[in-house]
Amino acid sequence: MAGREFFTVQSVSQALAGFRPARRTGVEKVPREAALGRVPASPVLSSSALPGFARSTVDGYAVRAADTYGASDSLPAYLDQAGAVRMGSVPPAADTAVRPGTAVQIPTGAAVPTDADAVVMIEYTQVTMPGLIEVTRPVAVGEGVVRADEDVAVGAEIAPAGRPLRAQDLGMLAAVGVTHVPVCARPRVAIVSTGDEVVPPETARLDPGQVRDATASALAAMVTEAGGEPSPRGIVADDAEALAKTLRAAVEECDMVVVSAGSSVGARDETAAAVESLGAPGIYCHGLAIKPGKPTLLAECDGVPVIGLPGNPLSALVVFRMVGLPVLRSVAGITVTPPEPATTATLTRAVASAAGRLDVVQVQVDNGPERTATPLFGFSALLSLLTSADGYVVIPEAATGLDAGSTVTVTLYR
């Protein structure tokens, strides 16, 4: 009975490398203000140069550099002040012409008159009599000036395809005047719970033997965090017919389907049978060499990835993080995975693991003088292990456990 369900146990890395559902979401245009975290469908190119004009980087005087050569404290260069540039405008050329032997006052960020080729900082100047500027240090051509296309050239890529937009990317889009961005549509992810014992979280009083659905709420949050749009489908009783009907609708309406099976072997078998009936090519693997999470099911039904999760919430959430999120990112068009918080720490206790199996161990991190990670042990259905954990340690397939005192990498929850 126990062996029956695991007819194609695969390693997690094999499964992730081999399971490549065809599904990709379409492209939609979103306004820049709503584009944080959205995924550009193609590289975003700039149609204008930035800053767009030669710009002063200092408060001082726009000059011809040659006029300052050899200037020093003891032998300053003397230049006639020929006007002043104001912020945000280019005054009539006659007012700010920088002819040989003249200087034009200019604030940081203002447009350098076209006939000047450098800006000397005000610190290296003195006004000894009105209209006459003493320059006490030479400037090279280009000094104190940002070129018109030094920040961004016309046609330059300002955001790559496939990388979720960050705060500074939105700043750059604003700087070059992009108001809308073509991005991959958010994948709709159906979340289905099964199990005769499972009742909605809103249920005020439980009968003995009933449990509230914890998995669906946590999955919805993880989907949202990863850039998807959760589509909650409620709880289906352990009934092959009802489950198949719910899953069929989910596959038709969504870009990805996640179903948490009931806890018992029978419930898991029914889930597998229902998934198998959905469409080609069907089940890719049933059983992953991961702990917790062995009874995981991966399937592709008419291009839509379907992931069957173990019945208990902790296992379900661990597997969804390790296996479901990479699939979700692929459907979402994300090719540059955002980095996750992680830290190195010293393991306080040994952890056993079987070779050929990926173990995911929940840990608490103590940021004392030496940073330590303490494994949380317990029956894998205890959700409190996950809520009291600061992060997790992955024991790779090749290892047979970790000794106390090992240095480990902890991926941190945020």
CA separation for the pair 268, 194 (Å, rounded): 9
Least Å distance between CB 362 and a second copy? 10
Least Å distance between CB 300 and a second copy? 25
Cβ-contact 392, 363 below 8 angstroms: yes
Least Å distance between CB 281 and a second copy? 30
The half-sphere exposure of 184 on its side-chain side, counting CA atoms within 13 A, is 31
How far from 337 is each of 131, 277, 393, CA to CA, in Å?
A: 59, 33, 19
Least Å distance between CB 254 and a second copy? 18
Cβ-contact 44, 205 below 8 angstroms: no
CA separation for the pair 169, 167 (Å, rounded): 5
Cβ-contact 236, 335 below 8 angstroms: no
Given the complex with a second copy, which of 75 and 167 has the nearer CB atom? 167
Query: Peptide bond before 232: cis, by omega within 30 degrees of 0?
Result: no
Given the complex with a second copy, which of 26 and 414 has the nearer CB atom? 414
Least Å distance between CB 171 and a second copy? 3
CA separation for the pair 173, 177 (Å, rounded): 6
CA dihedral 212, 214, 219, 221 (to 10 degrees): 110
Given the complex with a second copy, which of 87 and 355 has the nearer CB atom? 87
Least Å distance between CB 157 and a second copy? 10
Given the complex with a second copy, which of 56 and 102 has the nearer CB atom? 56
CA separation for the pair 401, 183 (Å, rounded): 43
Amino acid, res. 174: A
Least Å distance between CB 243 and a second copy? 14
Least Å distance between CB 56 and a second copy? 9
Burial of 62 (0-12, 13-18, 19+ CB in 10 A): buried
- Judged by phi (left if over 0) then psi (alpha if -120 to 50, else beta), residue 378 lies in left
Given the complex with a second copy, which of 65 and 251 has the nearer CB atom? 65
E strand segments, 252-406: 256-260, 281-286, 290-291, 297-301, 304-309, 342-347, 351-352, 358-367, 371-375, 391-395, 401-402
Given the complex with a second copy, which of 123 and 241 has the nearer CB atom? 123
